[in-house]
Structure 1
């Protein structure tokens, strides 16, 4: 069977003629073409007469227009493809003249349709490519700018919308007379531009409104986050001040008791009778009553940390500088882990490190405090290590609060 189409070996597109293949090669730089017995589809819409060259094109046309009835005229339009120059059958015409006539006939087989150059220039000014503008004017009847723009909107998904349209050279297309005067056409074109401008402005305003709503939402979220952070900070400061006041009260109470004991001891040494117990009794119930309120504190480990720091200060009260260095070093360890919980270097301490030994390691209470923070001895007691899954921010914050209290409260650990 003779070939009825040319097939592009690069993309598989079927073409009706050599001219279409040449145009396809110019547009795509494809060069592998061969004859094919598969005819180019010619599906004609029964409603509007639009020809569709593929099933995809007909589906797109149905989706845009709702037209679903097509007549398959592929067999009627299929013609054998001739790649060689046809010989002239007339004996009195020489071969040179026949070649010229054949080449002329072949080159004039498909040509670009003539369209209104003013309307074409208007469409190009509006931003349309020349091929798309020419196709729109040709298929819309070459009557007006508005009709061409409407055609582009309806056919913007066509696969060949940006290809220059071609029609047979012997087809005379008479451009219908425009139904509008030049002045009316100018007015219509101005209306189209104004409509496009207004549509663009509306889209920009809508986008700006959406952006403003997003900015307001983000602003509200930031304000709420800031409010929560400030509220938490106020609660933390309030709890810290309450703990400091409680510590001061307990320190004063211990000092008072110590003074009372010293006074009783002096009276005993002097041989004086002790004071009337009734005068001393009131202080004892008050202490017991206050002590009964201590269990309401939420963290038992916090109490253990406070007692550990108090023991450290009392056991080394003769070396205040060493105690302060130990407190500050422990605060640094707790702060580093709380700030960078994923950094292993802040969660692992070599016990034999000289600096660590000089500051904390030589103090039994310092090691105990780190263990209360979650550190564990590993590798035979060579390292203190806090596993990542055991990092407790609440415990670390409590440790920081207790260390700040121990450093800044002059009554901390007096007795």
Structure 2
């Protein structure tokens, strides 16, 4: 088999490694069988592994077996009827019929070798074959050329289909990438939005708590003022009634009553010299005094006491 077959397969788009492997697998029977084998075994895992030519065969030369045994077409030995027709019996029993080809029982196509039958089965999914004495004539130059054109067209079509499939897969991957990117951006935006809402809600609660605390202090101060005013008025009335002269009775000395102080009057002087005076309940917490000072100071020289 000439090395031209390797070059022909390479011109069709196959690598040299694949071309040499296909020709070796088909016993160097030509480009047609090599093409069929390549189409049938395109998805093999070892299709692109380095190929080593079989021992005893070199591309461009025939093997010893092929050179010593030229191809012959087998003929059927004459049977008993042939002997009778010739008028001269052979005296030996007829030998077995030799198969010259394989026939596909499903579509009726004749195939030269078992390798062609395997390639045909791979293409058509047919599985029923039988031996046949039909001798398949070799292809003419025009038939070989026509078949080569068909193979090249098929190879071109498969290449276009593969490129189209790759484009679709690339487009699908790009769409998936963009979708994932949008989802990631959306998730980040939602997390940031939730964090902002959480911070705003926390600040709102802090402001509300501070406002309520201030209102409670104001209410307590107003209550203390009212209580002190009422107590002062009551003490004044009692004092008047005790100091009024009695015409019929002599003044009687009354024992001094121990007073219990419930108020505390504080005077605070700011660094600016401005005084601040206020009366608080004796049980008033210092926090209320501090808040009152912060609310009423006008010197604006800090908030720490």
TM-score (ref. length: structure 1): 0.28
Structure that is richer in helix per residue = 1
Bigger-Rg structure (1/2): 2
TM-score (ref. length: structure 2): 0.37
